[in-house]
Amino acid sequence: MPDENGAHDSQLLKGVLSMALLRLLAECESYGYELVGRLHELGLKQIHEGSVYPALSRLEREGSVTARLVSSNSGPARKYYRPSPAGYASLAECEVAWTTLVRALEPILSRPVPRRPQEART
């Protein structure tokens, strides 16, 4: 089946991408091109370079990550990012917000959808 939910996901992804990137960078210093691959492996196939590079730039501008250029022998120089202390703090906050959201949605999503919605009480 084709990814018709791709369009939907694009909205769900908002705000999640930064968190995911920050989290991956906390795990292991990395660069944009590789991060795209790592996200794809996680199953987030619909994330493209055009989302990741701007997101990384934002994180750097915000001071959440620091970058260093490392020349490569398999192409142009790679820009390796790693979280700053502020980035770790931001990540922690973001994870709290995410967990809170997931927990808030759980009670309604876990219940099976009723066959017919109940009529409103007047």
Partner DNA sequence: GAAGGTACCTGACATAGCAAGGTACTGTGC
Partner DNA sequence: GCACAGTACCTTGCTATGTCAGGTACCTTC
Rg (C-alpha) for the chain, rounded Å, is 18
Q: What is the largest CA-CA distance in the chain?
A: 72
The β-bridge partners of 78 are 70
Supply the minimum distance, in Å, between the C-beta of residue 44 and a second copy: 5
* Minimum CB distance to DNA smaller for 29 or for 88: 29
Contact 54, 91 (CB under 8 A): no
Phi, psi of 74 (to 5 degrees): -125, 25
10 lies in the site for DNA, by CB under 7 A: yes
Binding site for a second copy (CB under 8 A): 4-5, 8-16, 19-20, 23-30, 42-44, 70, 80, 82-83, 88, 91-98, 100-105, 107-109, 111, 113-114, 117-120, 122
Interface residue with DNA, options 42, 48, 89, 106 (CB under 7 A): 48
Contacts of 32 (CB under 8 A, 6+ apart): 49, 52, 53, 56, 79, 81
CB of 60 to a second copy, least distance (A): 15
In the bound state with DNA, the residue whose beta carbon lies nearer, of 14 and 116, is 14
Enumerate binding residues for DNA (CB under 7 A): 6, 9-11, 13-18, 31-34, 46-51, 53-58, 71-79
